[in-house]
A and B are shown apart, each in its own frame.
Chain A
Amino acid sequence: MSDNPLLKVSGVSKFYGSRIGCKDVNFELWPGEVLAIVGESGSGKTTLLNCISTRLLPTAGSVEYRMRDGNFRDLYHMSEAERRFLMRTDWGFVHQNPADGLRMTVSAGANVGERLMAVGDRHYGKIRETATDWLGRVEISADRIDDQPRSFSGGMRQRLQIARNLVTGPRLVFMDEPTGGLDVSVQARLLDLVRGLVNDLGLAAIVVTHDLAVARLLSHRMMVMKDGHVIEHGLTDRVLDDPREPYTQLLVSSILQV
């Protein structure tokens, strides 16, 4: 167990005018830990994810990230260029809709290679080799490397987006409903893949989902949100097996059994 968190979130709030996006959220995330943020649509999950990942400026609070040199930096006191560099190299962001995270009109190989070039790789042969390797890891066959993601199925696009994000060896990955909109069989494949990669690479991840089964499979820890507030927070097994808050009990009792 490492003794330092990777991310410290303190008092993060976001207001849209007088409406609450999320209010006074506090937590720490350690390396190798997967945190699920669950709640129904409009509960503030995505707002919170965007505030933490600097895609949205919070109204109040601070988010500190432990850089590779071991020092904590407040993300909102960094320059825009530094933040962008962090996003491109040390972080990944997997969008619900792959079209938001991919460049749809360049080849699959270039989608993966682009992130490598951002961290300074210039050797074409090496980039292509790494890209091919990553396509294999996300189960996309090598002969599709020159095809554009436009010609891919939804599940394949999502796997490509994951490859694009992980190729630079990030330490923290944000995922917004990574399995939303996919067939269950495709979902299962993606979940298994993400689970394996997170374990193998020792990533920390924050996964927003409204699917409690996804949260159970992927996460160690879970935060339940309602109306912008975190109403329950704990070990994933504990929150799902022994929910304490009325709203969490309602959520858990609403899961369909197969």
Chain B
Amino acid sequence: MATPLVVSEVFKSFTMHLRDGIKLPVVNDVNFSVAAGECVVLGGPSGIGKSSILKMLYGNYAVDAGQILVDHKDRIVDIASADPRTIIDVRRHTMGYVSQFLRTVPRVAAIDVVAEPLVVRGVEAAIAKENAAELLSRLNLPRELWSLPPSTFSGGEQQRVNIARGFITSHRVLLLDEPTASLDATNRRVVVDMIAAKKEEGVAMLGIFHDEEVREAVADRILDVSAFSPRKAIAA
């Protein structure tokens, strides 16, 4: 089986046309890979480009150069050059993403938000809901909230909905953008256990964790993003 995720010579900058076209370099020459069953944690100070790397991998950011290779349905897809339709298919079947904040859809109940990734993969609605319920109770989200849309939930509650949504599928690659940032100690431990279970299943994970305890618990390897920072090169 091919390595689930390989990032090779990726460059990224933003051109701000509304600011006289100034160019803000984000990362230069990013190279790494994540093996099956491995959890790689992106390290380095805020603003160094950790979230940007995750967003490039998920297709939310375009890249200037380089390749992002994902093993998708027994072929290698380059996210950097794939068409939107392919990226959607990769997201549906191969690569999951737990963002920092939940993008809430008006009127959709928390349990349906969580079940949705399974439903779009063709799982029967009742079964998808059962799985969603299991995850939500594991994450200690009070049952009376399940049927409510999450837009009015607290930060920690929204985050748990988000985590459940990201973990419900058996995607082979999982991107985690500070999934434990607004959780209490009990729920942080639940998430740490869930990550450990994903490792057992052979899922390749790449994450950002500012909480040291969580990072210690889940990281197989820490990748210092400062090494890819163009600013470091300027400072040196």
Contact = CB atoms under 8 A, between A and B. Distances in A.
Contact of B106 (A188, A237, A238, A249): A188
B107 A188 contact: yes
Nearest to A196: B108
Interface in A10-63: 30, 33
B106 to A, nearest CB: 3
Q: What secondary structure prevails in chain A residues at the interface with B? A: helix
Interface stretch (A91-99, A112-120, A169-177, A239-247): A239-247
Size band of the interface chain A makes with B? 20 to 34
A181 interface: no
Contact of B17 (A191, A234, A242, A246): A246
B55 A195 contact: no
B17 A235 contact: no
Interface string A186-204: 0011011001000100000
A8 interface: no
Nearest to A241: B60
B186 to A, nearest CB: 32
Contacts of A191: 105-106
A220 interface: yes
Interface in B61-110: 61-62, 84-85, 87-89, 103, 105-108
A78 interface: no
Contact of B59 (A192, A216, A237): A237
B119 A242 contact: no
Given A188-B107, A191-B106, A192-B107, A30 B85 contact: yes
Interface string B26-62: 0000000000000000000000000000010011111
Contacts of A199: 119-120
A105 interface: no
A119 B5 CA distance: 50
Given A33-B85, A234-B84, A189 B17 contact: no
A30 B86 CA distance: 11
A217 interface: yes
Contacts of B108: 192
Contact of A235 (B14, B18, B59, B106): B59
Contacts of B119: 199
Contacts of A195: 105
19 contacts: A30-B85, A189-B106, A189-B107, A191-B105, A192-B107, A192-B108, A217-B105, A220-B88, A234-B84, A235-B87, A235-B88, A236-B84, A237-B58, A238-B61, A242-B55, A242-B62, A244-B62, A245-B17, A250-B18
Interface of A: 1, 30, 33, 188-189, 191-192, 195, 199, 216-217, 220-221, 234-238, 241-242, 244-246, 249-250, 253
